[in-house]
Structure 1
Amino acid sequence: MERHITLGEFIIENQKDFPYAKGELSALLSSIKLAAKMVNEKINKAGLSQIIGKMGTNNIQGENQAKLDIIANDIFISTLKNRGEICGIASEELEHYVAFDEDMHKDAKYIVLIDPLDGSSNIDVDITVGTIFSIYRRISPAGAKVKKEDFLQPGDSQVAAGYLIYGTSTILVYTTGNGVNGFTFDPGVGSFFLSHPQIRYPEHGKIYSVNEGNYVHFPDGVKKYIKWVQQIDEKDGRPFTSRYTGSLVADFHRNMLLGGIYLYPQGTTSPNGKLRLLYECNPMAFLTEQAGGKAIDGETRIMEIIPSELHERTPFICGNSEMVSIAERFIGGNYEV
């Protein structure tokens, strides 16, 4: 009989992935797993619990918050605070980072950045949503109060990143820099089991994900790339298939498994793009590269960008290396492929 490996067992068996840690990172990932179970339960009962709809308040980005945005944010912060592995957390839903000053946190080595409920505008129509997280080692000295600079690190400094996808099944996907693995939640036993070992982008992809409703606002290079993927060419399988849900986690997950490219470029309505560098782009770029893909802002590798603000936005293009490289050439003005 085939043995099914739980997330907890996998973390313990792969402790060598982070030899500088003494169990803290393993415990931190376990805390994220616990919070995810709680959020998953809330999402599954959203309609019955009357927690769908909007709060009538805006987050720091000026976006109308869903009730579940607030609930998910509170669950992750309280669950992570109850353990001593981190000294602070920054959330897409909060203007400022949260420093944990209690004695149990004073020597903590890690900080977390999180998008508690990505794609929350889809909640009311029962479309897939997710959670995105990123883990860094603090740069301020142990024992000192965590500072803003601890959160403003480039993506290359991440020690772990991942996402939860709450769909037809609930899946946790993460990396510690040694490949990407996915774990599916079995509600019958309350555990996550390894279901997608060593995920890699297929060599070639045929899916493109972009909000074509914003086409008129895109730079010329992006417009030309979109027209190129829509042209008929049997040699390379064009036209490609368009798939876009408005949930980054859902589009990213599909494209990584099936082969595709995701684009959210800058435009006249979003001069710096719409996605947040720290909460969305960096963790997804880390996963992308660990799965053999490529992530850029159009010119620069995402993981090399030095952030200057907690809620900094950036254009974001990620997916199959081949597809992203072709898009990069179009954006650079080279329209010959």
Structure 2
Amino acid sequence: LGLTGKTNVQGEAVRKLDEFANSVFLSAMEYSQLVCEIVSEEMEGAARLSRSCKGRKYSLLIDPLDGSSNIDINGTVGTIFSIHRQRDEMMDESPDEDLLQKGSAQVAAGYVMYGPSTILVYTSGDGVNGFTLDPGIGEFVLSHENIRMLARGKTYATNVGNRANWFPWTQQFVDYLSEADALTGRPYSLRYVGSLVADFHRTLLEGGVYLYPGDKKKSNGKLRLLYECAPLAMVAEQAGGRASNGTERILDIQPTELHQRSPLIIGSAEDVALAERFVQAA
């Protein structure tokens, strides 16, 4: 528990468990001999695990411990991951450009949620499945087969504490969801954990919309495109949902930086489309 006294490349305070989680994934991926490079929220640049990538076909982009502000209160945290194929495994020095691939190029993506139970949810481009860790046998067991997201939900998740900094469209959209109207199934209920993994997992299973938009202080939002937005966008779309920055499909965005940020609206297809209409009308 507690802080290390360091700050990461994002300018955020690093917690001891952040640092530990990052080291665990580095060690595990080096041992696997499948991954050549890792991009992590906790590291400024990519970590190359082998001078030659021959035989190491993949790059891993990861948020080792999402929601780490919840650690000291025993709240839900998780890991978000994105897997890309190395474009040239013979290169001795892989430039960042090799890692800056669109989300549509992911070969697999998902997350692990460490809550009352430990759940792995992932897709390799052919639907979404969830696996729950059975401590008795030390294995993940298929518990959520072929997950499909509702076309429309009844909840929304966002940090209302940022309302004073929201752009008008965000305020108008949240106000709309909060109004009572039986014909359109409103009001929606607010559900917000403050851990992207936990908020998205609920949205995946129960429908609705999660949004962390750009605002007056952070026009590009807070979340990182490569290892938070893109992997969850792949999961959402494979489950029949939708993910957008408000004007563009998340998986179509061409990244230009390893730690690039992006606004995120993700969830049930109809709810995300509704949010996009509010953006377009602004």
Same fold (TM over 0.5): yes
2:24 maps to what in 1?
Answer: 75
Give % identity: 51
Query: Could you tell me which of 220, 225, 230 is aligned with 1:277?
Result: 225
Q: Following the alignment from structure 1 to structure 2, what is the Cα–Cα distance between the partners of residues 146 and 84? A: 17
1:259 maps to what in 2?
Answer: 207
Superposition deviation, residue 230 in structure 1: 0.4
Rg comparison, structure with higher value:
1
Q: How does 1:217-256 map to 2 (within 5 A)?
A: 217-256=165-204
Question: Which runs of no fewer than 5 residues in structure 1 stay unpaired?
Answer: 1-51
Give the partner amino acid of 1:213: G
Matched, 1:159 2:107: yes
Superposition deviation, residue 143 in structure 1: 4.8
Instruction: Provide Cα deviations, 1:283-334, integer angstroms capped at 9, x if missing partner.
Output: 0000010010010001000000000000000100000000000110011117
Query: Could you tell me which of 133, 136, 140 is aligned with 2:81?
Result: 133
Instruction: Provide Cα deviations, 1:140-186, integer angstroms capped at 9, x if missing partner.
Output: 34353332112100000000001000001000000000000000001
Matched, 1:55 2:1: no
Q: Following the alignment from structure 2 to structure 1, what is the Cα–Cα distance between the partners of residues 54 and 117? A: 37
SS, match of residue 82 in structure 1? helix
1:93 maps to what in 2?
Answer: 42
Q: Following the alignment from structure 2 to structure 1, what is the Cα–Cα distance between the partners of residues 30 and 244? A: 33
SS, match of residue 56 in structure 1? strand
2:242 maps to what in 1?
Answer: 294
Q: Following the alignment from structure 2 to structure 1, what is the Cα–Cα distance between the partners of residues 217 and 240? A: 32
Q: Following the alignment from structure 1 to structure 2, what is the Cα–Cα distance between the partners of residues 187 and 204? A: 35
SS, match of residue 164 in structure 1? strand
Query: Could you tell me which of 184, 201, 206 is aligned with 2:149?
Result: 201
Q: How does 1:112-131 map to 2 (within 5 A)?
A: 112-131=60-79
TM-score by length of 1: 0.82
TM-score by length of 2: 0.97
Superposition deviation, residue 139 in structure 1: 1.6
1:31 maps to what in 2?
Answer: none
Superposition deviation, residue 56 in structure 1: 1.0
SS, match of residue 332 in structure 1? helix
Q: Following the alignment from structure 1 to structure 2, what is the Cα–Cα distance between the partners of residues 301 and 235? A: 29
Give the superposed CA RMSD. Answer: 1.1
Which one scores higher on RCO, CA 8 angstroms, separation ≥ 6? Answer: 2
Contact 1:101 1:145 in 2 (8 A): no
Instruction: Provide Cα deviations, 1:230-274, integer angstroms capped at 9, x if missing partner.
Output: 000012221100011110000000011011100000011212100
Give the partner amino acid of 2:193: T
Question: How many residue pairs were aligned?
Answer: 282
Q: Following the alignment from structure 1 to structure 2, what is the Cα–Cα distance between the partners of residues 268 and 139? A: 38
Query: Could you tell me which of 142, 145, 150 is aligned with 2:93?
Result: 145
Question: Which runs of no fewer than 5 residues in structure 2 stay unpaired?
Answer: none
Judge which range, 113-122 or 216-225, deviates more: 216-225
Q: Following the alignment from structure 1 to structure 2, what is the Cα–Cα distance between the partners of residues 89 and 191? A: 25
